[in-house]
Chain A
Amino acid sequence: MQINKVSKKVFLGGLVGYVFLYVPLIILVLYSFNDSRVNVGWVGFTLKWYKVLFSDKELINAAINSLTIAIIASVASVILGTLAGVALHKYKIPLLSVLIMIPVAAPELLVGIALLLFFLLINFTLGITSIILAHTAFCVSFVAIAVRSRMHGMDDSLIDAARDLGASPFKAFFLVLIPTILPGVIAGGLMAFTLSIDDFVITFFTAGVGSTTLPLAIYSMLKMGVTPEVNAVSTMIIIVTLILTTIATRLSPQLFK
């Protein structure tokens, strides 16, 4: 493939796009170090907002909730999602394909309401557990899609070969299939983790009174009164996202669709 010299117009246009994407975030991050109550005008460098952040018990609690939920939901959705991804690659299961596409294709609002209705239907008290169940539900889709795309690139005869050489279907699945698609599984898991930590809309509908996650806490902070503590928390989230995303893209370059 010919290495094309990027034309000036395209370069400028792209640059504008990147500027548009990053300037707001850079401003946000910068102001987290600003010695001022308002996000206007640079006064001086300070780390005090981070100190406030780390001593904000409620926020820390919310962060811990978010982390717990994300870990459990990723593990659960990785298990279910891998099964679904393998099944969809090998067999035609229209119902499963459609259900997998719901969180991807539908507006989050509707998914959130559907999940809320589920819990009301079975008289389930909303709380951390309901959030975990809800997150698992929508993360399964993304893990399944990541696993399925990884299986596209896999040599299908590997499983046949394992069976041919004496492995039972179980052994073939765990000793050959899983190791081969492992990068896809891990990438799906990281994606699920990030989606869970970041999620607002679905959590909003399925959280009970008193169970807060980080995004929910940020939301109330945004509604009630903003201090640069929000900037500090946002910066932390951006950094964590950066790390997770870099790892995920290393493992599964086909993640982008």
Chain B
Amino acid sequence: MKNFFSEKTVLSIPPLIYLIALFLVPTILMVVIAFREPGSYGGVAPLIEHVNNTTRINLTLDSFKFAMTSHFIWQLFWRSVGFSLLSTFCCLIIGYPLAMLIAKSKKNYREFLLLLVIIPFWSCFLIRIYAWMIILGPQSGFTHMINYIVNVLGYPPVNLLYSSAAVVICMIYINLPFMVLPLYANLEKHDEALIEASRDLGATNFQAFLKVTIPLSMPGILAGSALVFIPCIGMFVVPELVGNNCSLMIGNLIKQQFLQTMNWPLGSVTSIIMSLSVLGITLLFVCFAVRFGGLKYANK
């Protein structure tokens, strides 16, 4: 009896029970739903049905078959992957110099500089989307400027808001801190002596950067990329607010299936597809990380 109330159990049982109930059970449920028949009024059909004196168990792979062969779903999927990869790449381009600036600054400034990155990060992301809705709006100064250039080049005026471009820009804006922080955490640990040694051995600044800094920062790059990619894939609010019909993402479909069309089995299947792709990409990143010197991830 004493062993049951060991410190380990007393500490871990309350959170375990809570999280198993709210996370694990529904996740298992979601996987099970994927194999169920859709109900006539939404949701799922009963598992066991009595029809015409025979008992029937309503399990099917129809939803899977449909999802696998649906052109529409795959279009959404690849579009989501594409947007997310593009956003991740842009976050890297913008975020790397930022992280580097903070890492190379004097220690006293660093806390402040990091705080500057974190404050937008902790504000509700709807606000950040709204900020770009203003900038990309049809009457904003920015849009006028862009359209002026477009006009000069001889093209018809463009609508910046309600487009794929707006979706990608917002995704970049929202997730940028996710790239900066892990990159900073990595760059901060770099030993100055390594750069000095490479310069001593004949490398120019740029070569040192390419051959020393970038490889050493790979774990940070991969961690940041994973942390940006995963939320991007699941986005539905951004396409809803600033996108159009051609920029819908897989998140929108899942939301629609669970809340509007109420085709839960299909929604579950789509969710499973999304989860697997997230898992797959993360594993890819982890494999890359391990390849670069067996470095362990703080993320997992």
List chain A positions with a Cβ less than 8 A from chain B: 1-4, 6-7, 9-18, 20-22, 24-25, 27-28, 31, 38-40, 79-81, 83-84, 86-87, 90-91, 93, 95-96, 99-102, 105-111, 113-118, 121, 133-134, 136-137, 140, 144, 169, 194, 197-198, 200-201, 205, 214-215, 218-219, 222-223, 226, 230-231, 234, 237-238, 241-242, 244-246, 249, 253, 256-257
Q: Which of A11, A101, A219 lies in contact with B101, CB distance below 8 A? A: A11
B290 contacts chain A at the CB level, 8 A cutoff: no
- Take A6-B101, A86-B11, A114-B30 as given contacts and tell me if A1 and B127 are in contact as well, using a CB distance cutoff of 8 Å: no
Assess the B24–A16 pair: CB atoms within 8 A: no
> Could you list 14 examples of A-B contacts with CB < 8 Å?
A3-B106, A13-B96, A24-B132, A31-B134, A87-B8, A90-B7, A91-B8, A99-B19, A107-B274, A110-B271, A137-B18, A198-B125, A257-B185, A257-B298
Q: Which residues from chain B contact A133 at a C-beta distance below 8 Å?
A: 22
- Minimum CB–CB distance from B278 to chain A (whole Å) comes to 7
State which residues 13-28 of B face A: CB under 8 Å.
14-16, 18-27
Q: Which residues from chain A contact B140 at a C-beta distance below 8 Å?
A: 39-40
Assess the B237–A81 pair: CB atoms within 8 A: no
- Minimum CB–CB distance from B293 to chain A (whole Å) comes to 19
Please provide the 7 A-B residue pairs with the shortest distance between their CB atoms, ordered closest to farther. Answer: A107-B234, A13-B97, A14-B101, A17-B98, A24-B131, A87-B11, A84-B15
Cα distance, A140 to B15, chains bound together (Å): 8
State which residues 278-300 of B face A: CB under 8 Å.
278, 282, 298-300
- Take A100-B19, A257-B181 as given contacts and tell me if A17 and B120 are in contact as well, using a CB distance cutoff of 8 Å: no
Chief secondary structure at chain B's binding surface:
helix
Assess the A107–B29 pair: CB atoms within 8 A: no
Surface stretch bound by A, among B58-66, B71-79, B109-117, B151-159: B109-117
Cα distance, A102 to B128, chains bound together (Å): 25
Q: Which of B127, B181, B234 lies in contact with A110, CB distance below 8 A? A: B234
Q: Which residues from chain A contact B33 at a C-beta distance below 8 Å?
A: 117
Q: Which of A4, A25, A31, A244 lies in contact with B128, CB distance below 8 A? A: A25
Q: Which residues from chain B contact A230 at a C-beta distance below 8 Å?
A: 130
Instruction: Please encode chain B, from 92 to 110, with 1 for each CB lying within 8 Å of some chain A CB and 0 for all others.
Output: 0011111011101110000
- By CB atoms of chain A within 10 A, which of B22, B98, B135 has the most? B22
Cα distance, A83 to B14, chains bound together (Å): 8
Assess the B98–A134 pair: CB atoms within 8 A: no
Q: Which of A25, A144, A194 lies in contact with B131, CB distance below 8 A? A: A25
B124 contacts chain A at the CB level, 8 A cutoff: yes
The closest CB in chain B to the CB of A195 belongs to B122
Number of interface residues of B (CB under 8 A): 89
- Take A38-B139, A108-B234 as given contacts and tell me if A244 and B98 are in contact as well, using a CB distance cutoff of 8 Å: no
The closest CB in chain A to the CB of B186 belongs to A257
- Minimum CB–CB distance from A164 to chain B (whole Å) comes to 16
Assess the B25–A121 pair: CB atoms within 8 A: yes
Assess the B255–A109 pair: CB atoms within 8 A: yes
List chain B positions with a Cβ less than 8 A from chain A: 7-8, 11-12, 14-16, 18-27, 29-30, 33, 94-98, 100-102, 104-106, 111, 114-120, 122-135, 137, 139-141, 173, 176, 180-182, 184-185, 192, 205, 230-231, 233-237, 240-241, 251, 254-255, 258-259, 267, 271, 274-275, 278, 282, 298-300
Q: Which residues from chain A contact B117 at a C-beta distance below 8 Å?
A: 21
Q: Which residues from chain B contact A93 at a C-beta distance below 8 Å?
A: 8, 12, 16
Cα distance, A10 to B251, chains bound together (Å): 36
Q: Which residues from chain B contact A117 at a C-beta distance below 8 Å?
A: 26, 29-30, 33
Q: Which residues from chain A contact B134 at a C-beta distance below 8 Å?
A: 24, 27-28, 31, 39
Assess the B116–A107 pair: CB atoms within 8 A: no
Assuming A110-B275, A241-B123, what are 4 further A-B pairs, CB within 8 angstroms?
Answer: A6-B105, A109-B234, A219-B126, A249-B114
Assess the B236–A99 pair: CB atoms within 8 A: no
- Minimum CB–CB distance from B254 to chain A (whole Å) comes to 6
Q: Which residues from chain A contact B132 at a C-beta distance below 8 Å?
A: 24
- Minimum CB–CB distance from B27 to chain A (whole Å) comes to 5
Assess the A83–B124 pair: CB atoms within 8 A: no
- Minimum CB–CB distance from B235 to chain A (whole Å) comes to 8
Assess the B127–A244 pair: CB atoms within 8 A: no
Q: Which residues from chain B contact A218 at a C-beta distance below 8 Å?
A: 124, 126-127, 130
Cα distance, A18 to B106, chains bound together (Å): 17
- Minimum CB–CB distance from B174 to chain A (whole Å) comes to 11
